[in-house]
């Protein structure tokens, strides 16, 4: 049997809807060559305002084609239509944000001299060809937060999307082409992992950005480091959700369920570990379990049957190691019912794993210090959530949590203007917001002496 590298497989039915050929070596060479040629000419022939206008047109095309784009990712990875439409809209907002702010973000920055005559400034310039490796869970949003700022800078992009997202990748290529970007400014390729490693090593490629698994991040970082290339890595997460106090437990539980079931639990920064103070633990657990399990009636499939099987095995291993499982129903194909694990001890494999799907672990703690210690007792450090009625406690806990992001008394509060990224094994570098445009620029000093 031929191993299909790129294919659209409907996770709800398992039906392979369309297959796509993997790129031949000549196609890879043509893509890198085109991006390299554009990187030399495009920044010289355009201003930041020119490039921002193109990025704005990309946003407009997302909005014009939102229904079509949403239907594509519904087929590819099982995202409910309402969520898919929301992803397209958020992507458009990201392109618009950088179109609106690129000139301000990239303006020359004067440096006040301590001594001597003349002047000094920092000028932000593109560094060249960037290689992006994107995942399947947010096929448009992940590309937007990488492509929008870097195209405004004047970098060019070679992009490898996930093998299960070739149709959305082609739709994006068409949008960038129709927006008026020059040939080679954005090039989609269907590369193998081996070809991707060669692209990273190619001297014409300046840097690489990956959103994906720890294993993929380690592999990319190894090749990038060996070839002295900068990389930005957004990897896994096992985000803690701390419930320290609540004056409306129903609202807190609603937020907890929304945080766990975002994208059917397949989001790196979705809430996964629920750490609850003893005085509210019983109330939270009862309401949270009931509401989470009730969501199973209309739950979407995971991205693939393989993903659901992996989650099922992780849950079984957790139970074998002593955890208590509360679940209704069984896995069916790519559908995995919501579930709650309690009694997960430090020696349980689930304690340090990322459960990528609608399964939550709930822990009881005796107070703030224990809650923060447990929140930090993970190899990951992407996002986190703190629910408390005490503003001073919220500030203390936010300072104490080892994560790239802390959300206080809210979930699903991301925005184009807010930076995204983590620490520890969740990766390094930042995307989105003011700092997202800073990752792949040459901060060039220009010192003039009179």
Tell me which DSSP letter residue 294 carries.
H
Q: Is residue 234 among the annotated active site residues?
A: yes
Q: Considering the candidates 87, 167, 234, 368, report the single residue annotated as catalytic.
A: 234
Among 326, 344, 354, residue whose Cα is nearest residue 137: 354
- Beta bridge partners, 232, equal 209
Tokens 């996930």 sit at which residue? 162
Cα 391 to Cα 389: distance, rounded to the nearest angstrom: 6
Asked whether 126 and 39 are in contact (CB, 8 A), the reply is: yes
Q: How far is Cα of residue 381 from the mean position of the Cα atoms in its chain?
A: 13
Q: Is residue 268 among the annotated active site residues?
A: yes
Q: Considering the candidates 268, 305, 368, 439, report the single residue annotated as catalytic.
A: 268
Q: Helix, strand, or coil here: 214?
A: helix
Cα 337 to Cα 229: distance, rounded to the nearest angstrom: 42
Q: Using CA atoms in the order 193, 198, 204, 208, what is the torsion angle rounded to 10 degrees?
A: 40
Q: How buried is 393 (Cβ within 10 angstroms: 0-12 exposed, 13-18 middle, 19+ buried)?
A: middle
**HSE-up (13 A, CA, CB side) for residue 27:** 14
Tokens 């000139």 sit at which residue? 103
User: Please, which residues have CB within 8 angstroms of residue 335's CB and are 6 or more apart in sequence?
Assistant: 12, 299, 301, 302, 308
Cα 30 to Cα 350: distance, rounded to the nearest angstrom: 45
Cα 331 to Cα 311: distance, rounded to the nearest angstrom: 10
Q: Which two tokens stand for residue 427?
A: 């990766």
Q: Which two tokens stand for residue 398?
A: 């936010």
Among 380, 294, 353, 363, residue whose Cα is nearest residue 324: 363
* Residues recognised as catalytic: 234, 268
């Amino acid at each position: 049997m031929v191993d299909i590298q790129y294919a659209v497989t409907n996770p709800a039915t398992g039906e392979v809807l369309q297959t796509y050929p993997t790129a031949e070596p000549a196609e890879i060479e043509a893509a890198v060559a085109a991006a390299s040629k554009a990187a030399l000419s495009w920044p010289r022939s355009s201003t930041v305002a020119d490039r921002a206008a193109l990025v704005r047109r990309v946003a407009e095309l997302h909005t014009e084609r939102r229904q079509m784009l949403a239907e594509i990712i519904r087929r590819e990875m099982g995202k409910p239509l309402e969520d898919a439409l929301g992803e397209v809209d958020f992507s458009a907002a990201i392109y618009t944000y950088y179109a609106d702010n690129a000139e301000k973000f990239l303006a020359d920055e004067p440096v006040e001299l301590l001594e001597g005559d003349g002047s000094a400034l920092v000028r932000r310039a593109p560094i060249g060809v960037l290689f992006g490796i994107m995942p399947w869970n947010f096929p448009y949003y992940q590309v937007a937060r990488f492509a929008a700022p870097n195209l405004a800078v004047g970098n060019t992009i070679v992009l490898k999307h996930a093998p299960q997202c070739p149709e959305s990748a082609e739709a994006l290529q068409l949008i960038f082409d129709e927006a008026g970007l020059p040939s080679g400014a954005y090039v989609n390729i269907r590369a193998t992992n081996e070809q991707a490693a060669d692209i990273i090593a190619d001297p014409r490629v300046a840097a690489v950005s990956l959103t994906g698994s720890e294993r993929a991040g380690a592999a990319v970082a190894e090749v990038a480091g060996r070839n002295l290339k900068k990389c930005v890595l957004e990897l896994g997460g096992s985000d803690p959700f701390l419930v320290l106090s609540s004056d409306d437990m129903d609202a807190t539980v609603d937020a907890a369920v929304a945080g766990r079931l975002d994208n059917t639990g397949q989001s790196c920064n979705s809430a996964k570990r629920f750490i609850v103070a003893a005085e509210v633990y019983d109330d939270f657990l009862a309401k949270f379990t009931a509401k989470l399990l009730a969501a199973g009636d209309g739950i979407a499939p995971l991205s693939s049957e393989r993903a659901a099987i992996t989650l099922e095995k992780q849950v079984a291993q957790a139970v074998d190691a002593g955890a208590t499982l509360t679940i209704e129903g069984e896995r069916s194909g790519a559908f995995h019912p919501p579930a709650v694990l309690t009694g997960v001890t430090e020696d349980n494999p689930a304690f340090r794993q990322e459960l990528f799907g609608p399964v939550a672990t709930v822990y009881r703690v005796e107070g703030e210090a224990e809650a923060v210690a447990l929140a930090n007792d993970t190899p990951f450090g992407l996002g986190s959530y703190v629910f408390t009625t005490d503003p001073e406690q919220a500030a203390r806990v936010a300072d104490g949590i080892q994560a790239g992001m802390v959300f206080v008394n809210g979930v699903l509060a991301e925005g184009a203007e807010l930076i995204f990224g983590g620490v520890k094994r969740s990766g390094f570098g930042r995307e989105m917001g003011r700092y997202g445009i800073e990752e792949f620029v040459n901060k060039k000093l220009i010192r003039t002496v009179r």
